[in-house]
Amino acid sequence: MSDDPQGTRLDRWYSRYASRAHAMRASEIRALFSVANRPEVVSLAGGMPNISGLPLAQLADTSARLVRDFGEVALQYGSGQGDETLREQITEVMALEGISAHPDDIVVTTGSQQALDLVTRIFIDPGDVVVAEAPSYVGALGVFRAHEADVVHVSMDADGLIPDELDATLTRLAAEGRTVKFLYTVPNFHNPAGVTLSLERRRKVVEICDRHDVLILEDNPYGLLGFDSEPLPAMRSMSEDGVIYLGSFSKTFAPGYRVGWAVAPHAVREKLVLASESAILCPSNASQMSISHYLEHYDWVGQIKNYREQYRERRDAMVGALEEYIPDATWNTPQGGFYVWVKLPYGLDAREMLPRAVTARVAYVAGTAFFFGDEGHDHMRLSFCYPSPERIEEGVRRLAGVVNAELETVSIFGTAGETRQRLVDFPSPDVS
Ligand code: PMP
């Protein structure tokens, strides 16, 4: 196999694939999934919501009643744009983040992941540029790759995307004659960076994109999951014709129904419906009716409050464990969402270290998964959403053992000079 490292000879149809198929590869998260899910491994890798507190018995009764009393609709094909009652309810959900939308503006999708694919399908020709935060959601990067976009990253700090850098990047790309089709951004409790775009910066980003004639794709699955504060207004509430907004019930209710949505300027919305019909005909009626029933008859706002409390406790467990066991790492303490983005001390490489971490029965996602190019080696994403606080603490303790063993290897096998250089390049953190 040495002359055929990709194993392509085993794939009879390899030479017939469209060029975009070559850009499709298993995300680093998927590749990890099978090992990380073994019970003995503490997985700080996946972003699975902890749905154990949902009223499962009641939801089962609801499903049974839906099929028994409304089965002829629930089990039938439906509208490509999505169920009208649900679209009306979605306007109420979005009002919590300052968005006033009409149900006609909304397209229901199979999770916001499908909406990401549809928007990209509509806007991207091979070689077009998507500007995105550094780092960015791995599932969005996968979609952009599959459609042969080129992703140009813009840095973030503790207040999210840096507007001046965005402005300079858009100016440079225009001067180079590159077509920027949209800015992809996750403004709240970013995946993976954990940070939130400040209110002042939201206004700036909208102004900059408007000035450069660049559409904004605002992806917001975590906005209602702030631990201590009320949600900030969405950028969609500041610009109706400059922003496509994506929402999801995956994190505020349950991902298994696979219901998300897009809100888009009128003409884009029509294209989204056409693109969705060609991909899936229509979103699942059964799922949409289940969500609609849930929003009408359950205390969904109370459930979100439960989630916020549960995730705050887990965030505290993770940050406390990091402070105790890996104090030389750096991170921003997230104020909501699922993730802590950790910079490893002394330039350790999170991807190289991962097999040793899994052997030590702890899993994370290496930072490299969240960049379009070969960056992010010194970072890892730790998710606190799923394991219990005790498991989180145990996971970070195991991780600390791996980090310390790695540091010893560096000091034994690196030359003294190299090791010193590393220490100089990566000074001890002053933020955590
Ligand atoms: N966007 C972001 C930023 C996400 O983190 C996720 C899921 N992890 C999605 C979109 C997709 O979510 P879903 O398809 O379940 O709505």
**Per-residue confidence band for 27, with pLDDT thresholds at 50, 70 and 90:** low
Cis peptide before 192 (omega within 30 of 0): yes
Ligand 1 atom with the shortest distance to the CA of 115: 14
Ligand 1 atom with the shortest distance to the CA of 260: 16
How far does residue 408's CA lie from ligand 1's centre (Å)?
38
* Amino acid identity for residue 283 in this structure: P
92's tokens: 């109420």
**Residue 392 DSSP one-character state:** H
**Per-residue confidence band for 386, with pLDDT thresholds at 50, 70 and 90:** very high
**Mean of pLDDT over the chain:** 92
How far does residue 383's CA lie from ligand 1's centre (Å)?
14
Q: Give the Cα separation of 244 and 263 in Å (integer).
A: 6
Distances from the Cα of 285 to the Cαs of 170, 332, 371, in angstroms?
Answer: 41, 41, 36
Those residues whose C-beta lies under 8 Å from the C-beta of residue 56, and which sit 6 or more positions away, are: none
Q: Give the Cα separation of 375 and 135 in Å (integer).
A: 9
**Per-residue confidence band for 156, with pLDDT thresholds at 50, 70 and 90:** very high
- Give pTM, 2 decimals: 0.92
Cis peptide before 135 (omega within 30 of 0): yes
**Per-residue confidence band for 410, with pLDDT thresholds at 50, 70 and 90:** confident
Ligand 1 atom with the shortest distance to the CA of 47: 8
How far does residue 220's CA lie from ligand 1's centre (Å)?
8
Percent of the chain with pLDDT over 70: 91
SS3 286: helix
C-beta of 196 in contact with ligand 1 (< 6 A): no
User: Given this model, what pLDDT does residue 263 score?
Assistant: 98
C-beta of 117 in contact with ligand 1 (< 6 A): no
C-beta of 191 in contact with ligand 1 (< 6 A): yes
Q: Give the Cα separation of 18 and 282 in Å (integer).
A: 26
C-beta of 136 in contact with ligand 1 (< 6 A): no
- Per residue in 218-254, pLDDT (tens digit) is 999 999 999 988 999 999 999 999 999 999 999 999 9
How far does residue 3's CA lie from ligand 1's centre (Å)?
38
Q: Which residue's CA is minimally distant from atom 5 of ligand 1? A: 191
- Per residue in 262-287, pLDDT (tens digit) is 999 999 999 999 999 999 999 999 99
- Per residue in 169-183, pLDDT (tens digit) is 999 999 999 999 999
Q: Give the Cα separation of 311 and 49 in Å (integer).
A: 9
Residue 427 has pLDDT above 50, yes or no: no
C-beta of 163 in contact with ligand 1 (< 6 A): no
* Amino acid identity for residue 344 in this structure: L
Sheet holding 379-383, edge to edge: 330-331, 339-343, 379-383, 365-366
Residue 259: is it exposed, middle or buried by C-beta count within 10 angstroms (0-12/13-18/19+)?
buried
DSSP 344-412: PGGG--HHHHHHHHHHTTEE-EEGGGG-SSS--TTEEEEE-SSS-HHHHHHHHHHHHHHHHHHHHHHHH
Of 184, 204, 196, the residue nearest 136 (C-alpha)? 184
- Per residue in 307-324, pLDDT (tens digit) is 999 999 999 999 999 999
**Residue 226 DSSP one-character state:** B
Least confident span in 19-33, 61-75, 287-301, 394-408: 19-33
Residue 432 has pLDDT above 60, yes or no: no
Residue 2 has pLDDT above 60, yes or no: no
Radius of gyration of the chain (CA): 22
φ, ψ (nearest 5 deg) of residue 330: -125, 150
User: Given this model, what pLDDT does residue 70 score?
Assistant: 96
Residue 431 has pLDDT above 60, yes or no: no
Number of helical (H) and strand (E) elements in the chain, helices listed first: 14, 14
For 56-86, letters b (16+ CB in 10 Å) and e give eeebeebeeebeeeeeeebeeebebbbbbeb
**Per-residue confidence band for 137, with pLDDT thresholds at 50, 70 and 90:** very high
Residue among 119, 191, 261 whose CB has most ligand 1 atoms within 8 A, to mutate: 191
Residue 412 has pLDDT above 80, yes or no: no
SS3 402: helix
Least confident span in 29-43, 178-192, 282-296: 29-43
DSSP 58-88: HHHHHHHHHHHHHHHHHTS---SS--HHHHH
Residue carrying the six token digits 């791995």: 138
Q: Give the distance, in angstroms, between the CA of residue 398 and the centroid of all CA atoms in the same chain.
A: 26
How far does residue 385's CA lie from ligand 1's centre (Å)?
14
How far does residue 324's CA lie from ligand 1's centre (Å)?
31
**Per-residue confidence band for 414, with pLDDT thresholds at 50, 70 and 90:** low
C-beta of 186 in contact with ligand 1 (< 6 A): yes
Structure-model confidence comparison of residues 6 and 101, the more confident one = 101
